[in-house]
Amino acid sequence: MKSPLARIGLAIAVTAILVVIVRDRLDARDLSGWETLAAARVDGLTAEELEQVWIEVDGTSAEPWAGYYLAMQLYTDGTDLDRAHQVADSTIRAFPGHAVAPMLDDLLAALDSYSPGA
């Protein structure tokens, strides 16, 4: 393999194989995130359990939805509205143009308008 073209061809082939392997692993991780979130939704998890799901799906395309479901569960439970606000705010900051952003905006508006004595 003394030819420079053969070496370049080999380098390109190895790089292409590595790209395919990395992409497959990322796709599998992303799919796993969605499966984890779907199972959580079916199981009707508590806010504490949804917090774990949110951590598990970090870095996948399911992350903004997990943040939304966690914030909504905290809001619905009414036990930790500050945490609901934190989760919604951090999710919308991380994913400002995401499809879930308008729902997070609505949730934040509801949380901001909440007054315990009203």
Q: What is the mean pLDDT of residues 78-94?
A: 94
> Does residue 69 form part of some domain?
yes
Give the predicted TM-score (pTM) of the model.
0.71
> How confident is the model at residue 26, as a pLDDT?
62
> How confident is the model at residue 22, as a pLDDT?
67
Report residue 85's pLDDT band, with 50, 70 and 90 as the boundaries. Answer: very high
> How confident is the model at residue 118, as a pLDDT?
47
> Does residue 42 form part of some domain?
yes
> Does residue 8 form part of some domain?
yes
Q: How far is CA 62 from CA 22, 31, 59, 95, in A?
A: 19, 9, 8, 11
> What is the CATH classification number for the domain harbouring 98?
1.25.40
CB 74 within 8 A of CB 51: no
Per residue in 90-111, pLDDT tens? 999 999 999 999 999 999 999 9
> How confident is the model at residue 32, as a pLDDT?
79
List the single range of 39-43, 59-63, 76-80, 92-96 with lowest mean pLDDT: 39-43
Indicate the average pLDDT of the chain. 84
Per residue in 22-42, pLDDT tens? 676 666 667 778 788 887 776
Please count the structural domains in the chain: 1
> Does residue 118 form part of some domain?
no
Q: What is the mean pLDDT of residues 63-81?
A: 93
Residue ranges making up the domain that contains 44: 4-113
Q: 3-class SS at 80? A: coil
Long-range contacts of 65-73 (CB under 8 A, 24+ apart): 65/37, 65/100, 66/33, 66/37, 66/40, 67/91, 67/94, 67/95, 67/100, 67/104, 68/100, 68/103, 68/104, 68/107, 69/37, 69/40, 69/41, 71/104, 71/107, 72/107, 73/45, 73/46, 73/47
> Does residue 39 form part of some domain?
yes
